[in-house]
Amino acid sequence: MMLLLSLAARSLRNRLFISALTVLSIALSVTLLVGIENVRAGVRESFSGTIRGTDLIVGARGGTTQVLLSTVFGMSTPSGAIPWEAYERWSTHPAVAWTIPYSLGDSHRGFRVIGTTASFFERYRFRDRKVEFAAGRAPAGEREVAIGSDVAARLGYSVGSPVTLAHGVAAVSFAEHEAHPFSVVGVISPTFTPIDRALYVTLDGLEAMHAAELADGGGLAMGPPGPARSAATTSSEPAITAFLVGTRNRFETLQLQRDMNEDLAFPLTAIIPGVALGQLWQTLGSAEAGLRVVSVLTVFIGLIGMCVALYASLESRRREMAILRAVGAGPRTIVSLLVLESGMLALLGALTGVALVYIGIAVGQGPVEARFGLSITARALGRTEWGYLALVVSAGTLVGVFPAWKAYRASLADGLSVKL
């Protein structure tokens, strides 16, 4: 066996260029296959870790995914406003331990602005961690704002920087709240969640800003109507777009959710974060399956390419095979040699592909976290990835059977004769 390994290694080394290209094709296929699985698992863990310890997310009547994406991930538009009266009614419910109100609708240079209370900084958890500050503190006054780490890095803001909010969520706005500027009082430590790409003000600050805009001449008609604007025109109490709920007893969560969804006075949609995420993954399941199919086809093409390379090389190795036969190597030895070469190429390709995956994660982790807020970390290969690698190596080894069978059938005289 050691002799065969030595012969196979020398044979591959003698055909270094072709062998390297074959290994590279298999490696790139494995990189795509294993990389997609790794990124998929990382994205799921990152999304799941964005919110922890919250039993319910409550928004205006709308779709489950819409409430989840708009409130937690900042990827959608809120379905409507929740009157303050409705929020107070449910926040004092006997089953509710704490609540975090959210008010969305404004932005600053493309970053979302969230109106909330001190309970957000006290109660919100991500990956079992709480929100902390790299500098400064949480906003308390009507002209104070705390910013995420990504906002601070991209805009060059620090504690004391002036901030003027704008209507809507576009990167460029022609309707800014210049009558009510804010000042940065805190920079939130990196969380690698949507928190890094948001600005946080108090609910009173949002109301004061829109009241100042109304008193200054009524810029409220410009841009999409936000919840705070509606409240400013109708009452002194703020309206919010959603609120998070922590229950006193987890067993009461389902009943509380049912009661909120069946509330006739205030149409609400209450969702359980974990269940909503599960529904989101089901929605994206077809896309994940499509990526897997593409990856498998890529691996298949790589293996076919390896088979073609091995088969084509037999013509140039006729004399090598004949010499081995002449010195006593039997047909089975020739077959074993070629199958072993195929297996070695597949194994080297698989190992190189895994190495490329980890190199890609190490290089791209920072930019991905900064751009998308997704924490994709290097992790040990799971059962699925090991299964993929085993299939690739096994299939790569079997690919060598056909060229080996061709060499097995070739006679000694065939290798020693000259073909014209």
pLDDT tens, 84-117?
A: 999 999 999 999 999 999 998 788 888 999 999 9
In a shared domain, residues 39 and 84: no
In a shared domain, residues 169 and 303: no
* 172 burial level (CB within 10 Å; 0-12, 13-18, 19+): exposed
pLDDT at 420: 45
Domain boundary residue, one of 239, 271, 303: 271
In a shared domain, residues 61 and 187: yes
In a shared domain, residues 35 and 158: no
CA nearest to 22, candidates 31, 8, 32, 12 = 12
- Residue 104: domain span: 56-271
The answer to the question of residue 277 being in a domain is no
In a shared domain, residues 256 and 155: yes
In a shared domain, residues 244 and 389: no
Residue 107 CA to residue 102 CA, distance in Å, equals 14
In a shared domain, residues 76 and 178: yes
In degrees, to the nearest 5, what angle opens at C-alpha 361 toward C-alphas 286 and 195? 75
Burial 113-134 (b: 16+ CB within 10 A, else e): bbbbbebbbebbebeeeebeee
Low-confidence ranges of the chain (pLDDT < 70): 1, 3-4, 7, 168-175, 213-238, 311, 313-331, 369-375, 407-420
Question: How many domains does the chain contain in total?
Answer: 2
The answer to the question of residue 397 being in a domain is yes
Q: Which amino acid is at 140?
A: A
Give the strand pairing for 242-247 and 268-271. Answer: unpaired
Domain boundary residue, one of 225, 241, 271: 271
CA of residue 21 relative to chain centroid, distance: 32
In a shared domain, residues 128 and 167: yes
The answer to the question of residue 374 being in a domain is yes
pLDDT at 118: 94
In a shared domain, residues 306 and 164: no
Domain boundary residue, one of 247, 271, 295: 271
pTM above 0.85, yes or no: no
In a shared domain, residues 19 and 78: no
Burial 316-338 (b: 16+ CB within 10 A, else e): ebbebbbebbeeebebeebbbbb
pLDDT at 367: 78
pLDDT at 330: 64
In a shared domain, residues 228 and 203: yes
The answer to the question of residue 280 being in a domain is no
In a shared domain, residues 263 and 363: no
Give the strand pairing for 133-136 and 182-188. Answer: antiparallel
The answer to the question of residue 276 being in a domain is no
